[in-house]
Structure 1
Amino acid sequence: MFGDEDDASGSQVPDRLRARWEELLDATGVGTRSLVAGVAVAGLVLGALWWLTRQSPPPVEATLPLVQATAPDTTTTTAGPVVVHVAGAVVAPGVHQLPPGSRVIDAVDASGGLTPDADAGAVNLAAEVVDGSQVYVPRVGEVPPPPPPGPDGAVDDGPVDLNAADATLLETLPGIGPATAAAIVEHRERHGPFTTVDGLLAVRGIGEAKLAALRDLVRV
């Protein structure tokens, strides 16, 4: 007896709940199918969101600055030619261009070589040629001209040769002005080369005091 009552009451409870649920849905204006459809749509949306969020983000491509490869500069700066003036006892005196590092012998060869009366021993043929310089080859018995004065007007190499210096070079000596320098040149042209330094006393404008100041600065 009790078993039958339990079965009857058990079957009635779900029916009452279902009926109550339908009443609530009818009261809210939402049908069972609409509710099921809404739940299905919500499930799809949630599933899509979950699927998208679980995917690994696309790799980010690092943008590196474009660097152009340039070949190393292999060019080397080469020295220009050496320009030298060759004068004196050579076959073809003149200005010649020589390769860097050339020697005096190269300058002489570029001038056609030495003449028969050249005093080769008076020239250092092994010396390196300096750009813009002069190579002078004296003849046998000739006194070579003095080197040109330096930037400050002073003579770079030893005393001034009274028999070879021009008026401009003589004016670099102390106490020698244009007039005295011209007088020395004139005396040399009229009377020949000086044989001693004391011969300057014969030049107009030079006395004992001036000669004493010049004695160590000139030669013959």
Structure 2
Amino acid sequence: MIMNRITKTLAVTAAVIIVGIIVLFQQEEPQGQAVTPDKSIPISSADSSDENTHKQSNDLLFVDVKGAVVQPDVYQMKQGTRVKDAIEEAGGLRDDANPLSVNLAQKLIDEMVIYVQEEGSTSTGSPENLGSTDKIFVNQATPIELEALPGIGQAKAEAIIDYREQNGPFTSIEELMKVKGIGEKTVENFQDKIQIP
């Protein structure tokens, strides 16, 4: 009888332990699956990765740095960086460079050409190898260079520079007509004398 009682007690205890283990195992099983997923990548994760790659490529631009810099070349830059940053990337200005020939604070745009003149150069900011030595780069031009354009005096030159500083570089010749005091006829008078990358 005592043996029966001990056997029953052990059987009940064993059953309780087994049931407890089963319940505990069932509760932990989903967590185990979440911690150790299979090696496949969820579609949403792959899409997110593609979006990040696309976003990163949109954050980059290429600029061509030429003239009186240490290492002229095409450089990959981040959106929002300035001409000064691109020149630093090109090793900085040479000793014979004219720092007044470029607007160091200007924001970069994709496919932009930055041409740093040498001291004493009479060029209008356009390198010879571009085949347009008589053209003025509107996004880099100084007020004096802009005043050399037909129909552009000191006030309009300053208005062009003010617009450029407030709105970023010009992206088309037509955008010049958004500058106060510059209309279609004025632009027609000088459009063959300017370069907008």
TM class, shorter-length: 0.3 to 0.5
TM-score normalised according to structure 1 size: 0.35
More relative contact order in 1 or in 2 (CA 8 Å, sep 6+)?
2
Bigger helix share:
2
